Amino acid sequence: MLRLLNLELQKLLLNRTSKVLIFVSFILPFFVILLSSFKINFFGIFTLELGELGIFNFPLIWHLTTFFAAQFKFFFAIVVVSMVGNEYSNKTLKQNLIDGLSKKEFILSKFYAIVFFAFISTLLIALITLCIGLYYSSYTEIGIIIRETEFLLAYFVKLVGFFSLCLFFGMLVKRSAFALAFLFILFILEWIAFGLMTWQMNSDIATKIQNFFPLQSMYHLIEQPIQRIAMTKFPDKTEIAYDYAVHWYEIIIVLGWTALFIFLSYLLLKKRDL
């Protein structure tokens, strides 16, 4: 396993483009979060200090940071797609197999790299969030701090799931740009399907089915936190209350998709003549 991960890391880290993109997708979000935790002075007119709004309180902060950091995953998606696309266009995939890598090992080395980066990212965000939280949060009891840390698990699963989808698209179309277009098409298709179902049936059932769609199920792992922040400000407005928790079945759905995408990638490679 370490050998396969090592292989993939060498391929990625010696490539300048992917190095930059990895930096952007994993390091940048923390700077953004870190910066937003500082006092911002708007031309001396007024000072905005987000910390004062109470949004950096435990356990809310877990939800907030994982949600925003996850938006940067798109940059690493480009890396995932191009790490497959490049293997095809350089024909190094063929050479790897000739050199004695099995098709299974090839897919696994990509998957391990995905898991590795998702894990590093999760670890980083856990650290940063902990630091900001300890600094700003009004509650620093250990019991409150570890509450809702399941958002970290959700974040990890979300990244692994999304990148597995990218890996599959990369294997499917062999070209990075087309694979990204496919991602966008899938996004549109999911909404068209949702629209049709709402029209044919009712929106309750449609929403339930939509939660099983690959992109939507990943999105649903971590709901948007804006409404929740509003809830903490106006606790008596019950109409804005919503279910933001991470549910076990949501994680199972995404893990299911992940397994399916990896398996399909393997199947594609196995059936294909290179």
Partner 1 sequence: MNTILTITNLTKKFGYLTAVKDLSFTINKGNVYGILGPNGSGKSTTLGIVLNVVNKTSGDFKWFDGNTTTHDALKKVGAIIERPNFYPYMTAEQNLKLVCKIKGVDFSKINEKLEIVGLLERKDSKFRTYSLGMKQRLAIASALLNDPEILILDEPTNGLDPQGIHQIREIIKKIASNGTTILLASHLLDEVEKICSHVVVLRKGVKLYSGRVDEMISSHGFFELKCNDNEALMKVLENNPAFSAVKEKDHLVTAFLNEPLKSETLNKYLFDNGIVLTHLVQRKESLEEQFLQLTDKN
Contacts of 220 (CB under 8 A, 6+ apart): 211, 250
Residue number, 12 or 160, with CB nearest to partner 1: 12
Angle between helices 150-173 and 60-70 (to 10 degrees): 10
Residue number, 71 or 92, with CB nearest to partner 1: 92
CB 21 within 8 A of CB 75: yes
Distance set, CA 72 to CA 77, 78, 162, 247, 252 (Å): 9, 11, 12, 23, 23
Q: Cα–Cα distance between 146 and 58 in angstroms, integer? A: 8
Q: Residue type at 30? A: F
- Nearest distance from C-beta of residue 86 to partner 1, angstroms: 8
Residue number, 14 or 142, with CB nearest to partner 1: 14
Which range in 86-94, 168-176, 194-202, 256-264 contacts partner 1 by CB under 8 A? 86-94
User: Rule CB under 8 A: is residue 14 a binding residue for partner 1?
Assistant: yes
User: Rule CB under 8 A: is residue 6 a binding residue for partner 1?
Assistant: yes
User: Rule CB under 8 A: is residue 202 a binding residue for partner 1?
Assistant: no
User: Rule CB under 8 A: is residue 73 a binding residue for partner 1?
Assistant: no
Give how many residues touch partner 1 by CB under 8 A: 28
User: Rule CB under 8 A: is residue 1 a binding residue for partner 1?
Assistant: no
- Nearest distance from C-beta of residue 12 to partner 1, angstroms: 11
User: Rule CB under 8 A: is residue 10 a binding residue for partner 1?
Assistant: yes
Please state whether the peptide bond connecting residue 59 to the residue before it is cis, i.e. omega within 30 degrees of 0: yes
Distance set, CA 212 to CA 233, 253, 264 (Å): 32, 7, 18
User: Rule CB under 8 A: is residue 13 a binding residue for partner 1?
Assistant: no
Binding mask of the shown chain, residues 90 to 119, with x at each position contacting partner 1 by CB under 8 A: xxx-xxxxxxxxxx-x--------------
Q: What are the beta bridge partners of residue 42?
A: 46
> Which residues here bind partner 1, judged by CB under 8 A?
3, 6-7, 10-11, 14-16, 86, 90-92, 94-103, 105, 270-274
